[in-house]
Every structure is written in structure tokens, then in C-alpha cells.
């Protein structure tokens, strides 16, 4: 999936994009994607995803064949 153009637009409107672990996106390989304005992005990561971080790390290692930070 090519999302580089979308990231340019997102940066222009001061939005944030990361994977579900809050790590920066890279265009060099598959990844999960979380996109939103700064407040929504922060809330989803902190309130909804952080309690499941261990499961998300395991999912990333299995699905994307890489170690998360």
C-alpha cells in the first residue's frame, strides 16, 4: 500500500500517523496504521491501545515479521 502522498497531506493539516504501537510509519514495509488529528491520535493510543500493548507487540512480530521497538 502506498500512503506516502497521504502522509504529506496529513502533515500539512497537522495530523499524526503512526503504527498501533505509536512508532513512526515507514514506507519500506507493511505496518499497521493509525491516523488522526493530534488529540484523537493521542487518545486512541493512550486510552484504547496502551492496555493491549503486549498483545499488539506480539501481533506486530507475527504479522509484520519484525521486532517492535
Give pLDDT, residue 35: 95
DSSP state of 16: E
How does pLDDT run across 22-57, given as a tens digit for each residue? 999 887 888 899 999 999 999 999 999 999 999 999
What pLDDT was estimated at residue 66? 67
| 55 and 48 Cβ atoms separated by less than 8 Å | no
20, 34 Cβ separation under 8 angstroms = yes
Give residue-wise pLDDT tens across range 2-30: 788 888 999 999 999 999 999 998 878 88
Would you identify the CATH topology of the domain 4-63?
D-Maltodextrin-Binding Protein; domain 2 (3.40.190)
Q: How far apart are the first and last CA of the chain?
A: 22
pLDDT at 52: 97
With a cut of 70, say whether residue 67 has pLDDT above it. no
Reported pTM: 0.81
Q: What is the 3-state secondary structure (H, E, C) of 35-69?
A: EEEHHHHHHHHHHHHHHHHHHHHHHHHHHCCCCCC
Amino acid at each position: 500500500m502506498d500512503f506516502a502522498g497521504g502522509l504529506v497531506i496529513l502533515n500539512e493539516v497537522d495530523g499524526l500517523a503512526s503504527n498501533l504501537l505509536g512508532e513512526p510509519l515507514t514506507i519500506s514495509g507493511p505496518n499497521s496504521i493509525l491516523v488522526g488529528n493530534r488529540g484523537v491520535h493521542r487518545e486512541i493510543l493512550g486510552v484504547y491501545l496502551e492496555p493491549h500493548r503486549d498483545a499488539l507487540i506480539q501481533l506486530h512480530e507475527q504479522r509484520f515479521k519484525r521486532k517492535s521497538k
